[in-house]
Amino acid sequence: AQSVTQLDSQVPVFEEAPVELRCNYSSSVSVYLFWYVQYPNQGLQLLLKYLSGSTLVKGINGFEAEFNKSQTSFHLRKPSVHISDTAEYFCAVIRYGGSQGNLIFGKGTKLSVKP
């Protein structure tokens, strides 16, 4: 079975500072990896995904993530955050070749950007 651990439940950061949101996964098989963002009172929006190819994935709003198979990690980064990035971020996995649509999510990391 797959599982996802988001190591920080809350991350406070000042505007224009860099940020890294950590995600580790556990799986005995290959997985696809996703990051979603949830703004207050809204649904989930896809930030980026890793299916195959380059391990550095670029997403929307200036975010990027790097897949590290040996460390089973998929950390999300942004070099300079804005107030508008304040939201909850979820890392998720799908087992390769199966679990159609059955995303397994972490518990989320609340990013709070302060002026």
Interface contacts to another protein, rule CB under 8 A: 4, 32, 34, 36, 41-46, 49, 51, 90, 92, 94, 96-97, 99-108
Task: Output the CA–CA distances (angstroms, integers) from residue 27 to 2, 23, 40, 81, in the order listed.
Answer: 5, 13, 31, 31
Q: Tell me the closest approach of the beta carbon of residue 73 to another protein, in angstroms.
A: 17
Closest to another protein by CB, 63 vs 108, is: 108
Closest to another protein by CB, 62 vs 97, is: 97
A 10 A CB-CB count for 60 gives: 10
> CA-based Rg of the chain, rounded to a whole angstrom?
14
Beta-bridge partners for 113: 13
Closest to another protein by CB, 79 vs 97, is: 97
Closest to another protein by CB, 26 vs 42, is: 42
Sequence-ordered list of residues with C-beta below 8 angstroms from that of 100, at least 6 positions apart, any chain: none
Q: Tell me the closest approach of the beta carbon of residue 16 to another protein, in angstroms.
A: 29
Q: Tell me the closest approach of the beta carbon of residue 90 to another protein, in angstroms.
A: 5
Q: Tell me the closest approach of the beta carbon of residue 59 to another protein, in angstroms.
A: 12
Per-residue tokens: 12: 């406070």
Q: Are 24 and 9 in contact (CB under 8 A)?
A: no
